[in-house]
Structure 1
Amino acid sequence: MPRRFLGICLSVLTAVSAPALLSPALSAADDIRFDSAAFDPDTAFAPSASIMADVDATLAIAKKEGKLAALILGANWCHDSRGLAKHFTDPAVASLLAKHYAVKFLDVGYLEKGVDVANRFGLPVYYGTPTLLVVDPATETLLNKDNVYLWRDSYSMKMEDVRASIEAMATSKPVAETVPDNPALQDALASIDAFEEKHARRIEAAFSVVGPMLKAYKDGKTPENFENYWGELRELRYGLTDDVTALRQGVWQRYRAGDADLSVTFPEYPAFSWE
């Protein structure tokens, strides 16, 4: 298999004086300080006995310190996950993180973990590694739903864009748009949610097929059809997020323009080879 595959990652699918780095055994009472000299971006995602316990501890610390929680779903095998961790060592980014965030790198293993974390904060699945979730610890509201897909291409992100996004998320909390009491609009948006949920479940099921193949690949073996399967999964992950975003924007635009017909035409996706 061509070595270019390793560059695909799941993109084709903390806070620190530098960021505060949370250990797997962290309790909410622990005093966390990040040693930038000891931080290794290539090993930032450490396996944990309980990924959800790590989430709980991070939220507790963020709430106690009056900060936001930054939860990063990723893995050391993923070059984009390592890329984001490296971006976090930039002095300007590290300063922003130390001031505004309690951060935790959450290891998703070989795609067998992490979906429950995405679900907890209103996402049907994670669509790439890394996925950066910025959460208000008091309400557990996901604050960066509009750019949650951005980070899966972290390796190729420009540093100035990383800095700007980290700062913007900390200083301007978005306000969710209230859906008016309009049955046509509500039905259209609900149908898009159902469409996304349907295909998110296919993606989650695909993780259980492709994840073990990925592990075998990383162990020096190349399972038959691995690259093809990985490519099919990538196409759905990227296609679904792009399409759902466009569908929602289109419905809102038609509603604001006064259109009475807000019906939605959904794209069709091919079945996976193994389905």
Structure 2
Amino acid sequence: MRLAAASIIAFGLAAAPAARAAVTAPQVPAGQSKPVTAPYDTTADAHKAVDTAFARAKAEHKTVLIDFGGNWCPDCRILAGVMANPALAPWIEQHFVVVKVDVGRYDRNMDLEAKYGGAAKGVPAVIAVTPEGKILNPDDTRALADARSMSDQAVADKLAGWAPG
């Protein structure tokens, strides 16, 4: 009987979906990031860019990171600077396919934000999505919205929670 129970438990564990392994963010020195003046391409075809990001993420086994924002937004520009920091950018490239989507003054590409769970309550709204379309942070899309008050390390640590393990 014990052998049968052990076999059932082992089978159940093997059949359970794999949990995401914890990923550790790199150490990001304070004070090195500089805001990016215009991180969002206002002329880009956002739908095509998102489709391309998903295709690449699937091929490379990465998470898609959709960054909804506007060039007028200080937190968006600061977040872009942190993500471009030489201590963090290679790590982001290793784990994510990042696509920046310009929302204008909430008058552009809002259908994409709605599709991926954004609530248009402000920017930046960063949505982490598996290549299969599962949103990894449905209740945390505005976690980086106050980038001005976050340390670079806090941003990196938040991203690590969404990285594929």
Tell me the TM-score range normalised by the shorter chain: 0.7 to 0.9
Whole-Å Cα distance in 2 between the matches of residues 46 and 91 of structure 1? 21
TM-score (normalizing by structure 2) = 0.72
Q: How large is the Cα RMSD of the aligned pairs? A: 1.7
- 2:123 maps to 129
Whole-Å Cα distance in 2 between the matches of residues 151 and 128 of structure 1? 11
- Where relative contact order (Cα < 8 A, 6+ residues apart) is larger, the structure is 2
Count of aligned pairs: 131
* Deviation of 1:114 (Å): 2.8
Whole-Å Cα distance in 1 between the matches of residues 139 and 161 of structure 2? 12
Distance 1:94 1:49, change over 3 A: closer
* Deviation of 1:49 (Å): 4.5
- 1:141 maps to 134
- 2:102 maps to 107
- 1:152 maps to 145
Whether the 8 Å contact between 2:36 and 2:78 is mirrored in structure 1 is yes
SS of structure 1 residue aligned to 2:138: coil
SS of structure 2 residue aligned to 1:102: strand
Whether the 8 Å contact between 1:82 and 1:155 is mirrored in structure 2 is no
Structure 2 residues not aligned, in runs of 5+:
1-34
* Deviation of 1:158 (Å): 1.1
Structure 1 residues not aligned, in runs of 5+:
1-39, 173-275
> Larger helix proportion, structure 1 or 2?
1
* Deviation of 1:60 (Å): 1.0
* Deviation of 1:164 (Å): 0.7
When Rg is computed on C-alpha atoms for both structures, the one with the higher figure is 1
What code does the residue aligned with 2:79 have?
L
Q: Within 5 A, what are the aligned runs for 1:25-36? A: none
SS of structure 1 residue aligned to 2:157: helix
Whole-Å Cα distance in 1 between the matches of residues 142 and 104 of structure 2? 19
* Deviation of 1:101 (Å): 0.5
Whole-Å Cα distance in 1 between the matches of residues 74 and 145 of structure 2? 10
Whether the 8 Å contact between 2:57 and 2:96 is mirrored in structure 1 is yes
Whole-Å Cα distance in 2 between the matches of residues 153 and 72 of structure 1? 14
Identity %: 29
SS of structure 1 residue aligned to 2:145: helix
- 1:116 maps to 111
What code does the residue aligned with 2:39 have?
A
Whether the 8 Å contact between 1:92 and 1:163 is mirrored in structure 2 is no
Whether the 8 Å contact between 1:96 and 1:167 is mirrored in structure 2 is no
Whether the 8 Å contact between 1:93 and 1:162 is mirrored in structure 2 is no
What code does the residue aligned with 1:108 have?
V
Picking from 53, 61, 64, the partner of 2:48 is 53
Whole-Å Cα distance in 2 between the matches of residues 42 and 78 of structure 1? 10
What code does the residue aligned with 1:58 have?
A
Q: Within 5 A, what are the aligned runs for 1:1-275? A: 41-123=36-118, 125-138=119-132, 140-171=133-164
